[in-house]
Amino acid sequence: MHKTFTQLDNFGHSLKAASYLSQPKSAEEIYSAIKLAKKMGLTVTARGAGRSYNDASLNGGGITLDMSAMNQIIKWDQAKGQVRCEPGVTLEQLWKIVEPHGWWPPVVSGTMKTTLGGCLAANIHGKNNFKMGPIGDHVLEFTAILPTGAEITCTPKKNADLFYAMIGGLGMLGIFTSITLQMKRIHSGLLAVDAWPVQNLRRQLFSLLDGAPQYDYIVGWMDGIAGGYALGRGQIHAARYLHEGEDKNPQETMKIQNQILPPRIFGVFQKGLLHYFISPFTNNLGTWGINTAKYIASLRKHTFRQSHAAFHFLLDYVPNWELSYGRGGLIQYQSFLPKETAESAWTEMLKLSHQNRLPFYLGVTKRHRPDQFLLTHAVDGFSLAMDFKVSEGNRAKLSAMLQEFDRIVLANGGRFYFAKNSETSAETTLAFYGKETAAKFKKLKKRCDPNGLLESDLYRRIFREKGG
């Protein structure tokens, strides 16, 4: 373990915290770190790839376990499409192992750099949430070590209360040591994609509502600057798996070399340098120009085939793209609204952002369905993720606006996702989880972690009570 504090930050580079850093390579080393924390009067949190936009993997003043060294694929059953991995395995490692054999991870995030342990702790959703649910729906089994030293195995039937609480449990009940997942059978390395424009928020939500049952994946881009009739305009991308026989050469399209994202744009520009060129346009005027051009370019419906990696991992096209937001970084705010109230709630939020002259620079919409996990963020409705640029001059104003967003979301029966939101308070958290759910989670917390050793900056923020 590092004997001096190491400063870590979130993916958006808007939050920082210093902690002792340890890199365990086994369950035994995890428990050793936990025992040390207890002896020193410190808290512990696990950190995967650090891709959360908020404070989920920060633990100021405590011990942070960097899980990236526990990155072995323990077993891959090619016939059944079942894989058992350590928690530090990334989605990139996973898809590169399974796709050449005709399988694909059932749920992935917008970047392939996330770890499976982090994916389960946040219970990630993808562009196929309406069809496939969150990643937790595809977990066959996991093992975890509790702060008591107990090693447990959980399935949907064995230790079911912990299964449904630890997945999406923010890493606060125990630390995953292995994860067994069921993959999705595919018959091609390509997806059939349809892309079409939507003139405003109403059209966007209608397209998601109507398209989700028809496609395997559906996602919307939203222009956060357009107003008036065009408020909430954007573009829909919807994709379906190719049926067996549609791809004339599936063995070729499923090869890793035909999935890997190109290192250069147009074969010329090195992608790792692109954020320097994007940065001058990361402002209201520059984003207006880019969004306008993007919308105009989308006016004609496009139908094409695209590799799985290219369709899913858009955030990886431009490495370090988040650095284009400048020294203050970015805050991502994601809300989930029932289909009955989403339009009115987001109309109010979009207009409020325009009034404050704080438009978001990237907006993403998805269609969702409920799930049975204890700390679920899901609704029968939609989500909207908004990226805001942070500066010294706007931080207080932005924070106040996001608190008002929270009020609007709660008033409309909405929910929040704690791999994203960094401003949501304990009062708001209790209001949307409800007293019964919060009490149930805290009871499990007391059972699994009686000394309150597992904590993060996020946990302290949204549950407030130390060790609670």
Find the distance separating the first CA and the last CA of the chain, reported in whole Å.
26
Q: Could you read off the pLDDT of 251-305 as tens digits, one per residue?
A: 999 999 998 877 666 555 666 667 777 898 899 999 999 999 999 998 988 999 9
73-82, 88-97, 155-164, 294-303: range with lowest mean pLDDT: 294-303
Which range (62-71, 80-89, 169-178, 290-299) has the least confidence? 290-299
Q: Write the DSSP symbol of residue 434.
A: -
**How high is the pLDDT of residue 380?**
98
The two structure tokens encoding residue 406: 């929270």
Per residue, the 3-state secondary structure of 150-215, as one string, reads CEEEECCCCCHHHHHHHCCCCCCCCEEEEEEEECEECCCCEEEEEEEEECCHHHHHHHHHHHCCCC
13, β-bridge pairs: none
Q: Stretch 397-417: mean pLDDT, rounded?
A: 97
Given a cut of 70, is residue 465 above it in pLDDT? no
Q: Is the pLDDT of residue 24 over 70?
A: yes
List phi, psi (to 5°) of 86.
Answer: -75, 160
By DSSP bridging, strand 151-154 and strand 139-145 are antiparallel
| pLDDT tens digits along 142-192 | 999 999 999 999 999 999 999 999 999 999 999 999 999 999 999 999 999
> For residue 33, how many other CB atoms are within 10 A of its CB?
23
Instruction: Answer whether 455's CB lies under 8 Å from 62's CB.
Output: yes
Query: pTM for the whole thing?
Result: 0.95
Rounded Cα gap, residues 343 and 224, in angstroms: 14
Name beta bridge partners: 151. 145
**Which region among 153-157, 265-269, 323-327, 349-353 has the lowest average model confidence (pLDDT)?**
265-269
- Output the pLDDT for position 466: 45
Which of 258, 265, 262, 270 minimizes the C-alpha distance to 305? 258
Mean pLDDT computed over every residue of the chain: 95
Give the chain's domains with CATH numbers: 6-68+442-463 (3.30.43.10), 69-185 (3.30.465.10), 190-426 (3.30.70.2520)
Share of the chain above pLDDT 90, in %: 90
- For the cut 60, the answer to whether the pLDDT of residue 440 exceeds it is yes
Are 46 and 65 spatial neighbours (Cβ–Cβ below 8 Å)? Answer: yes
| Per-residue DSSP letter, 115 | B
What integer pLDDT is reported at residue 265 of this predicted model?
60
Statement: residue 467 has pLDDT above 70: no
Quote the pLDDT of residue 35.
96
- Round to whole Å and give the CA distance between 120 and 177: 12
Mean local confidence (pLDDT), 9-14: 95
| Mean pLDDT (whole number) for 100-123 | 97
Cross-strand bridge partners of residue 7 = 18
